[in-house]
Amino acid sequence: MPDFRCSIASLVDDEPMGGTAPTDPELLLVESPGPWGRDAISDNRLPEAVRDHLGSVDLKVFLLRRPDGSSGPGTHVFHARATATGYDVRATVLDRVEDLLDLDLAALPSYDDPLWLVCTNGKRDRCCAEIGRPIAGRLAQTWPDGTWETTHLGGHRFSGTLLALPTGITLGRLDPDAAVEACTALTRGEVPLPWTRGRAGRPAVQQAHELHVLAGGDLADEVVAVPGPGRRQSCGDDKVKATTRFEVRATRPVEG
């Protein structure tokens, strides 16, 4: 199937997106302009010592680049830790990217402005590049400082996909117009449910439960993970992999 597109197949199958946001409690985001390979953390244009460092740290690493290909001055670095409401984000700009090797992440100043991280790593999955790059370009027109292309967020079959910080809200099945609408809603403190995959930094079941409640469900209801159908999940990998779905089990009797 040379023309297979995982995002189209997922959409046609009406695959649920809820509970599919990244679960990583700690993130390191490092500016790395230029092309990225399939394994972007090891295949990029950063100095070898920096690549080795990023491959050894015990937290999730994403590389960033500007949609228009520009870079500098300096290297932007963001560090994010999950909280009860999203992520605590801190940031700096390094004069030399090698300074990352000795950087004290805990000492970074807070960063409160919105960040829109759009997955565009085409070497990992072509849906991310084909769908994600126009989205990043459109968002950058309104949020030039906060919009970045990023490496693999996971769930490329839900492309275009976006991680919003500091909220952690992760979006999917975006197009450029939907991305602007959804991100504008996020700036108002709203959760754009039609495009929301979950809140990153939490276990998948907790993500699905929050979405259930936001959609009007009972807070007391239990949400459980159940096996979903096996499916091909990527344009770049033809293996059929297991999926997970989430079921709501009401804890209160239904009247009538």
Domain ranges of the chain: 6-203, 212-249
Going by their DSSP bridges, the two strands 60-65 and 26-31 should be labelled as parallel
Q: In terms of Cα–Cα distance, which of 218, 220, 246, 244 is closest to 231?
A: 244
Total length of the chain: 256
pLDDT in tens, 62-76: 999 999 989 889 999
pLDDT tens by residue, 176-233: 999 999 999 999 999 999 999 999 999 999 999 999 999 999 999 999 999 988 877 7
Give CA–CA dist 168/82, Å, rounded. 8
Architecture of domain 6-203: 3-Layer(aba) Sandwich (3.40)
pLDDT in tens, 89-124: 999 999 999 999 999 999 999 999 999 999 998 777
